[in-house]
Amino acid sequence: MPPFDLLPPLLSGLVVTLQLFAGGCLVASVVALLAGLGRLSKNRGIRAVATGYVEFFRGTSALVQLYWFYFALPLLGIDLGAMVCGILVLGLNTGSYGAEVVRGAILAVPRVQREAALALNLSPFQRLRFVTLPQALLAILPPANNLLIELLKNTSLASLITISEMTFEGQILRSGTLRTAEIFGLLLVLYFLVASSVTVFMRGLERRLAIGRDHGGVR
């Protein structure tokens, strides 16, 4: 008998997984850009804060981070709720790796491009907005795709703080039906389909941005 009767609760969990993924992507994108730029700042204080964030979140377990946000912060009077904790931890953890991707991509932009922008008397923001970031973006996208896939897979950790995402729903189903192989087989397929969709989107975006450019951004 096809396991189609198992799909409704798993698809309900998929919706929550996608919410975690979308929120985590947003947080990760913002903090990766800010921390990546912060790591390149001439201001020693900003550079120290950005470096501290990157090293801390890369050097500690995502699971422990999740537990700390969910179980320890309420003891300090800060109760964010399970979903917010999940999104923040997933985003901050992934963003710490993304910050290094951003920093490396910016450093890879040919120096002559930055000097030309300076010669045109562009402000620092204008140089960043119109010269540096557009050229760095192509170098950012391939590793960013890998980080997004890792973020997607890490959403399963949220089941450990009572969030009813796909893995949580799968465990509930398994306890009630004992159809372990079918349930986890469907979970593998669903994760693979979402991950494949992310990869197709990112590669399409990369091809579109690459028209007339190489990975250094030079026409």
Q: What is the pLDDT of residues 28-49, one digit of tens each?
A: 999 999 999 999 888 999 999 9
Proportion of the chain in helix, strand, coil states, percent, rounded to 5: 85, 0, 15
- pLDDT-based confidence at 219, cuts 50/70/90? very low
In a domain, 215, yes or no: no
In a domain, 216, yes or no: no
pLDDT digits over 115-168, tens only? 677 777 677 777 777 777 788 888 899 999 999 999 999 999 999 998 989 999
In a domain, 214, yes or no: no
Q: What is the DSSP letter of 74?
A: G
pLDDT value for 70? 94
- Asked whether the beta carbons of 130 and 122 are under 8 A apart, the reply is yes
pTM: 0.86
In a domain, 137, yes or no: yes
In a domain, 102, yes or no: yes
Q: For residue 88, what is the domain's CATH number?
A: 1.10.3720.10
Residue range(s) defining the domain that contains residue 34: 3-209
pLDDT value for 213? 61
pLDDT value for 212? 59
From CA 61, how far away is CA 162, in angstroms rounded?
19
Half-sphere exposure of 46 (CA within 13 A, CB side): 10
Instruction: Report the mean per-residue pLDDT for the chain.
Output: 88
**What are phi and psi for residue 216, nearest 5 degrees?**
-95, -5
From CA 219, how far away is CA 131, in angstroms rounded?
12
In a domain, 21, yes or no: yes
Mean pLDDT (whole number) for 181-204: 94
In a domain, 196, yes or no: yes
In a domain, 24, yes or no: yes
Q: How many domains does the chain have?
A: 1
